[in-house]
Structure 1
Amino acid sequence: MIFLILITLIISFILYRRYFPVLGVRFINLKNLEVGKIKIIDIRDYHESFKDPVNGSINIPIAYLNRNINQIPNDELFVVSSSSLEKNIGIRLLRQKGFRVVGYIISDSNEIHKKDNSIKMENNCC
């Protein structure tokens, strides 16, 4: 019985860290972002960030975030991710390392999502 409770708690903790939204971090549209005060961290894969770059951002994919944490300036951070799962894991990792994340945006194939609402973005690429 104790073993089942322990396994249930471990599974619940893992699911919470991956899928439960991060509290205290809100969606901010890139147009409303003050780039001088906030540093943009793009945690999308290199292929995605190359197709749809965010000007002035530091691109460190989520898989390399822990390894390259020293490249991130100690300022307020804004996270660009490709999914809510990636956003949750990235923000939690950054907070764990002592960074202050103030906002996020989820970019998925030229669409920026805010929960259920979506805003189309223009892509002026070739």
Structure 2
Amino acid sequence: MQTAMLIIAVILAARSLYKRYVPVIGVSCMNVSDMKEDGSTIVDLRDFQTAHHDPLEGAVNMPMAYIYRHYKDIGQGTVYLVSSDMTDIHLTARFLKRKKIRVEGFSLTTEVKPCKKGREVHGV
């Protein structure tokens, strides 16, 4: 009985860590200027206060807490994500892909060098 509980706890912990920290396949880092040329929807996942102080022209500001309730307002076209945190990018990209919304790329606003390759994204 205790072994089964331990196995279940490990599986739940691994699933949570996977959803938060493992990169989403097919979602690559991009510069914001490349996103604007495409004509797709840009979703700004930062909080309202942060997005207000550093606005992103043409983006829909929808903080992470609102995504689950208002994802239908985004539409069914191609979506690009902008956030200050990789965890928000991973969680939102997985959720939107599950809802059949095509997520093409993301950009981080807090990085001096916005697009890092491979393991650099997570500081490894």
Q: Is the structural similarity TM-score above 0.5?
A: yes
Instruction: Check the 8 A contact 2:35/2:42 in 1, yes or no.
Output: no
Aligned-residue offset at 1:37 = 3.0
Q: Paired residue for 2:98?
A: 96
Aligned-residue offset at 1:112 = 5.5
Question: Alignment partner for residue 8 of structure 1, among 10, 15, 20?
Answer: 10
Instruction: Check the 8 A contact 1:44/1:59 in 2, yes or no.
Output: yes
Higher RCO (C-alpha under 8 Å, 6+ residues apart)? 2
Amino acid in structure 1 at the alignment position of 2:85: S
CA distance in 2, matches of 1:36, 1:23: 20
SS at match of 1:80: strand
Of Structure 1 and Structure 2, the greater strand share is in 1
Q: 5 Å matches for 1:1-126?
A: 1-108=3-110, 111=112, 113-115=114-116, 116=120
Give the unaligned 5+ runs of structure 2: none
Aligned-residue offset at 1:42 = 0.6
TM-score by length of 2: 0.84
Give the unaligned 5+ runs of structure 1: 118-126
Aligned-residue offset at 1:36 = 4.7
CA distance in 2, matches of 1:73, 1:112: 30
CA-to-partner distance for each residue in 1:1-59, whole Å, 9 max, x for gaps? 22211211111001111111111100111122344531101111111111111111111
The alignment-based identity, stated in percent, is 29
Of Structure 1 and Structure 2, the greater helix share is in 2
Instruction: Check the 8 A contact 2:31/2:114 in 1, yes or no.
Output: no
Please provide the CA RMSD for this pair.
Answer: 1.8
CA distance in 1, matches of 2:36, 2:109: 19
Amino acid in structure 2 at the alignment position of 1:113: P
